[in-house]
């Protein structure tokens, strides 16, 4: 029954039990047998050691160590439930942070085409630029860019750079080829200069740096424009900084934004994507028009596309799966804990039926009875929280350390979980004690 849920959470198809092989069936049988053995062996020993007379009368002596064991198990269950619950809240908070953080570019309504054919020379680049310009004529296409990379991973290419008028160390900077429409298509913020959009068109040997690259080269945003950069590995090659763009997350938030240098795609002489910025609510119709235009411009080339927001979601697929799994684990843990509380409180009430009756005869009301039972479990929950909080902090902090950009842990999720467990537990106890409290004390005292 739950197979579709786990298939969705883990993004892995699960085989139906009807198609299990012999080994899997034997494993399941062994699992059921061992679980039943472990669960039943303790009560079996307790029952078998009871005195026969009391057993016949229905008075099983279960006080010997049983109460301590039950409370210990409940405390462990409480601890596990609190740990999983707080972890789930932390994961959910981090995932929400990922999808609300300003990543430095606009991913909405950006359609990314895989540029075919890949003719990586000046003629091929010029031909693909012509195709891109023709696609811009499609209604609802606001802008477009030809580039080697899109913001879904760290660009794999690097170039060693050094300011011409400085004797500082050489810096290895990630590099990527883009055209003059890249900043406008992805909504990058140009802090100074321009992103190859100066009048007169393409100027060879120009580069655009991000803020991190400017700092790595020992420059400032204001002074970087028109500075000359040499490439030590290519003697005689001098580059001119055309502009500086604001840092943006070109990959997952698990990676810190590093130095990036953009070359014009004509100088880079290679490309992989055509990105089109759309401005429409009729996405399906616009995609169909782009497809028809693509077939006309590049007959025989496959029409492969995705949307930038889908690319962004794919970067955090594991986080989304973890969030779903943590939520399911939290619900299952709480169900197990509350079943345990229900069973233990019910068992205790049965054992203390006459005590409750005597207390009522002597003047105790329902409130006194509820308080009598609730204070016993208040200590268990308090101890569970004392154990769970430091353990959870270590686990969640270790997980958050894998992100360069992450939330700061605070006490709010811990208090929320603590209050939820307290209130829910005491509500269950109060409900059961209320039923016992309204019972006729005379009838309880006369019952053997």
CA R_g for the chain = 34
pLDDT at residue number 240 = 93
Element (H, E) at 408: none
User: Closest Cα partner for 265 from 168, 149, 345?
Assistant: 149
Side-chain half-sphere CA neighbours of 245 within 13 A = 28
Mean of pLDDT values over 245-254:
91
Tokens of 16: 């139906």
pLDDT at residue 309 tops 70 = yes
pLDDT at residue 306 tops 90 = yes
214/86 Cα distance (integer angstroms): 41
Element (H, E) at 230: strand 228-230
More confident residue, 355 or 193: 193
pLDDT at residue number 91 = 92
365/349 Cα distance (integer angstroms): 16
% of residues, the chain, pLDDT over 90 = 50
120/185 Cα distance (integer angstroms): 23
Cis peptide before 117 (omega within 30 of 0): yes
Backbone phi, psi, residue 143, to 5°: -160, 170
Could you tell me the pLDDT band of residue 340, with boundaries at 50, 70 and 90? confident
Model confidence pLDDT, tens digit, residues 107-152: 999 999 999 888 899 899 999 999 999 999 998 999 999 999 999 8
Which residues have CB under 8 Å from 253's CB, separation 6+? 98, 101, 103, 403, 404, 405, 406
Average pLDDT across the chain, whole number: 87
pLDDT at residue 257 tops 60 = yes
Which residues have CB under 8 Å from 179's CB, separation 6+? 129, 132, 145, 146, 147, 196, 264, 265, 266
CA pseudo-torsion sign 114, 115, 117, 120 = negative
Model confidence pLDDT, tens digit, residues 182-240: 999 999 999 999 999 876 778 899 999 999 999 999 899 988 999 999 998 888 889 99
More confident residue, 94 or 351: 94
pTM, whole model, 2 decimals?
A: 0.79
**DSSP per position, 184-201:** HHHT--EEEE-SS--TTS
What are the sequence ranges of the domains in the chain? 1-57, 62-101+317-446, 117-303
pLDDT at residue number 441 = 64
pLDDT at residue 50 tops 80 = no
141: left (phi over 0), alpha (psi -120 to 50) or beta: beta
pLDDT at residue number 440 = 64
CB of 118 within 8 A of CB of 271?
yes
283/295 Cα distance (integer angstroms): 18
361/179 Cα distance (integer angstroms): 89
User: Closest Cα partner for 277 from 211, 183, 345, 342?
Assistant: 183
Model confidence pLDDT, tens digit, residues 359-406: 777 777 777 878 877 888 888 899 999 999 999 999 999 999 999 999
């Amino acid at each position: 029954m739950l197979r579709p849920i786990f298939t969705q959470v883990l993004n892995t198809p699960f085989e139906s039990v009807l198609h299990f092989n012999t080994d899997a069936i034997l494993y399941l049988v062994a699992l059921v047998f061992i679980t039943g053995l472990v669960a039943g062996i303790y009560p079996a020993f307790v029952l078998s050691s009871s005195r026969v007379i009391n057993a016949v009368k229905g008075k099983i002596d279960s006080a010997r160590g049983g109460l301590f064991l039950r409370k210990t198990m409940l405390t462990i269950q409480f601890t596990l439930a609190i740990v999983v619950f707080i972890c789930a809240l932390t994961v959910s908070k981090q995932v929400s942070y990922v999808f609300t953080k300003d990543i430095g570019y606009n991913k909405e309504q950006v359609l990314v085409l895989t540029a075919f054919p890949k003719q990586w020379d000046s003629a091929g680049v010029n031909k693909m630029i012509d195709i891109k310009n023709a696609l811009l004529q499609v209604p609802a296409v606001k802008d477009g860019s030809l580039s080697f990379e899109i913001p879904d991973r760290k660009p794999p290419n690097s170039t060693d750079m050094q300011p011409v008028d400085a004797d500082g160390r050489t810096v290895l900077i990630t590099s990527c080829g883009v055209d003059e429409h890249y900043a406008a298509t992805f909504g990058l913020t140009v802090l100074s200069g321009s992103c190859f959009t100066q009048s007169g068109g393409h100027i060879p040997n120009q580069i655009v740096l991000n803020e991190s690259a400017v700092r790595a080269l020992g420059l400032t945003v204001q002074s970087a424009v028109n500075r000359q950069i040499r490439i030590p590995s290519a003697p005689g090659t001098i580059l001119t900084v055309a502009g500086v763009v604001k840092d943006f997350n070109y990959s997952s938030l698990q990676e810190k934004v590093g130095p990036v240098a953009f070359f014009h795609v004509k100088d880079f002489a290679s490309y992989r994507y055509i990105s089109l910025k759309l401005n429409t609510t009729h996405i399906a119709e616009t995609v169909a028009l782009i497809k028809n235009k693509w077939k006309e411009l590049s007959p025989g080339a496959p029409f492969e596309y995705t949307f930038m927001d889908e690319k962004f979601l794919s970067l955090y697929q594991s986080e989304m799966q973890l969030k779903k799994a943590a939520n399911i684990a939290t619900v299952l843990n709480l169900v197990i804990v509350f079943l345990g509380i229900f069973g233990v409180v019910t068992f205790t009430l049965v054992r203390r039926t006459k005590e409750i009756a005597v207390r009522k005869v002597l003047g105790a009301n329902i409130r006194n009875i509820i308080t009598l039972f609730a204070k016993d479990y208040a200590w268990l929950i308090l101890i569970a929280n004392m154990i769970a909080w430091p353990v959870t902090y270590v686990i969640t902090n270790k997980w958050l350390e894998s992100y360069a950009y992450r939330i700061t842990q605070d006490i709010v999720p811990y208090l929320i979980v603590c209050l939820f467990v307290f209130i829910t537990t005491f509500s269950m106890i109060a409900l059961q004690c209320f039923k016992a409290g309204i019972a006729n004390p005379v009838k309880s005292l006369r019952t053997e």
